[in-house]
Amino acid sequence: MSTAITAPASYTARVELDRDSDNALVRLAREGNYEAFEKLFERHRQLVYRFAYQMAPRRDDAEDIVQEAFVRAYQNLGRYRDEAKFTTWLLRIVTNLCTDHARMTHRRQVLEQQEAGEGLLWMTVGDTDDPVANLEAQRRVKALRKALNALPTHHRTMIILRDIEERDYNDIAAILGCTVGGAKLRVLRARRALRDRVAPLIGEEKP
Amino acid sequence: MNYRDEDLIKLAFGELDETEAETLRKELAADAAASSQIGEYNWIKEGLSDLRPVPPMQYSTERLRDAILGEGLNVRKRNPLALILAWTPAGAFGVAAVITGVMLMRTGPESLVPANLQSETSLAQVAMQMDDLHRPLLAERAFRTLDDQVRASTEFKVGFAPVAEETAEPEPKDASPKVRFAAQPTRSAPAVRRETQRTLTPETPAAAPVMEVAAPETADAATEQAPPIVMIGSEDDARTGAPIATEVRFDANVVVGG
């Protein structure tokens, strides 16, 4: 009489989950399985795109950054260490790319701001029925976008990571390669800098 | 009341504990300036949340595939050999620096100079070690350096003191105006006078003409009228069995010592 040995359902589920985890996909991609890397891309491309768009608020630029980020990630999968989260590692690549992009396009910054200000009107801000509230929200977005784009890159990165993308301080510290205390301090300084730029506009925008 | 800007920012962005936030809010109720600041930060926080929506991305998986696979890109694997090769030149440089440092500490900077470029003293020593005293040109070359005059004068001072004694014949003062003591350029005139008086015979008048002779400027000038010097070599004459003696015209050619 033979007895079949079956694994418990929870164990099977965990194995399936592990097989589909970022680290498992990275391992497969390292071994040459490109489909595994495409899964990683599908999973995280929105995250990368959102961050890239906030840093370089033009769709074309943001998409170029996304492509470059994933190409670099693919080429450097061998350097990725499993102890860090894959998204953290990916965001570190994107942060560096965005910083480089901001340096290169510094001369075009004024034009970009104008373009971004006009291009943001499509956004679904102020979706209340109150037209006055909608108008105020649109003005605030425009003013904040302008102020954000005028910030130095390191301050802008902190505002986007913490206040727009809502990453926790541990993540930010890992992405930037600093301590949690250092990350908190940088966020604080960035918020102050943003307030200094926005304060003159607040009086105009408030009813 | 002045509140710390940091606390106001934390309160506005919801990063304070509930109890701390409640306490601060109560305190701020009576402070118009701080309340205004909090209002500004709240305005920023709400505005930043409005920035979250982004336009839809049009970048496709196919485009990425083209970008990666179309260009034949591959995953770069960490190659330990490449790492070793990259650090090899730096390591070699470090080892060379350490060896140089040790050499300098042990032997001094002369060890870094090739033997044929080292000082004239060592060249002269080499010539003497070779026992090649029949090659005066080599010795002469050895002494032709910037400070050879000082060296030569020192050598002559020791080696030719008896010669000076022999030449101290009682001569008229103006008959030998060019008798010079090449070996004593650094001595003062009184010192030369005292020494000469000691070496001269008692019959020699105290006012010897030597007193009037100035110290020579160069060794060559000093040796123009020096008596010939006979050097005895190490090789023996075949006929007599005695060492070969050679007459040297100028004493600057002679290496003294060894």
Would you give the DSSP letter of residue A1?
-
Please answer yes or no on whether B76 and A78 come within 8 Å at the CB atom.
Answer: yes
For residue B54, count other CB atoms closer than 10 A to its CB.
19
Most confident of A66-75, B2-11, B203-212: A66-75
A47-61, A98-112, A115-129, B43-57: least confidently modelled range: A115-129
A58-67, A134-143, B39-48: least confidently modelled range: A134-143
- Chain B residue nearest residue A73, CA to CA: B75
Tell me: pLDDT of A164 over 80.
yes
Tell me: pLDDT of A55 over 50.
yes
Q: Which residues of B touch A123 (CB under 8 A)?
A: 50, 53, 55
Taking residues B116-124, report their average pLDDT. 56
DSSP state letters, A140-152: HHHHHHHHHHHS-
Taking residues B117-134, report their average pLDDT. 57
* B222, β-bridge pairs: none
Least CB–CB distance from B6: residue in A29, A122, A188: A188
How much of chain A, in percent, has pLDDT values that exceed 90? Answer: 44
Please answer yes or no on whether A198 and B59 come within 8 Å at the CB atom.
Answer: no
Q: Which residues of A touch B40 (CB under 8 A)?
A: 195, 198-199, 202
Four-residue CA torsion sign, A168, A172, A175, A179:
negative
pLDDT of residue B103: 84
Rounded distance between C-alpha atoms, residue A81 and residue B83, angstroms = 17
- B19 or A117: which leads in pLDDT: B19
- Chain B residue nearest residue A33, CA to CA: B75
Least CB–CB distance from A63: residue in B5, B50, B59: B59
Average pLDDT of every residue of chain B: 68
- Chain A residue nearest residue B51, CA to CA: A141
Residue with tokens 């949340």: B49
Q: Which residues of B touch A188 (CB under 8 A)?
A: 6, 9
Write A79-84 long-range contacts (CB < 8 A, 24+).
Answer: A79/B76, A79/B78, A80/A26, A82/A23, A82/A26, A84/A174
Tell me: pLDDT of B158 over 50.
no
How high is the ipTM of this complex?
A: 0.73
pLDDT of residue B119: 54
pLDDT of residue A83: 73
Tell me: pLDDT of B12 over 80.
yes
How much of chain A, in percent, has pLDDT values that exceed 70? Answer: 76
Tell me: pLDDT of B49 over 50.
yes
For residue B3, the distance in angstroms to the closest alpha carbon of chain A comes to 15
**Token pair in block for residue B96:** 């060379």
The candidate with the shortest Cα–Cα distance to B150, out of B196, B213, B86, B217, is B217
The candidate with the shortest Cα–Cα distance to A53, out of B83, B183, B105, B57, is B57
pLDDT of residue A158: 95
Tell me: pLDDT of B138 over 80.
no
Average pLDDT of every residue of chain A: 81
pLDDT of residue A90: 93
For residue A44, the distance in angstroms to the closest alpha carbon of chain B comes to 12
Tell me: pLDDT of B50 over 60.
yes
Four-residue CA torsion sign, A71, A74, A79, A80:
positive
For residue B101, the distance in angstroms to the closest alpha carbon of chain A comes to 38
Q: Which of A43, A188, A201 to mutate to test the interface with B (most CBs of B within 10 A)?
A: A188
Least CB–CB distance from A74: residue in B44, B68, B77: B68
Taking residues A21-49, report their average pLDDT. 90
pLDDT bracket for residue A178 (50, 70, 90)? very high
pLDDT of residue B115: 59
Rounded distance between C-alpha atoms, residue A126 and residue B22, angstroms = 30
DSSP state letters, B93-153: HHHHHHHHHHHHHHH-GGGGS-GGGS-HHHHHHHHHHTT-TT-HHHHHHHH-STTHHHHHH
A36-50, A103-117, B239-253: least confidently modelled range: A103-117
Taking residues B14-23, report their average pLDDT. 89
Most confident of A171-185, B72-86, B198-212: A171-185
Taking residues A177-202, report their average pLDDT. 91
Q: B83 — alpha (psi -120 to 50), left (phi > 0) or beta?
A: alpha
Please answer yes or no on whether A140 and B46 come within 8 Å at the CB atom.
Answer: yes
For residue B44, the distance in angstroms to the closest alpha carbon of chain A comes to 7
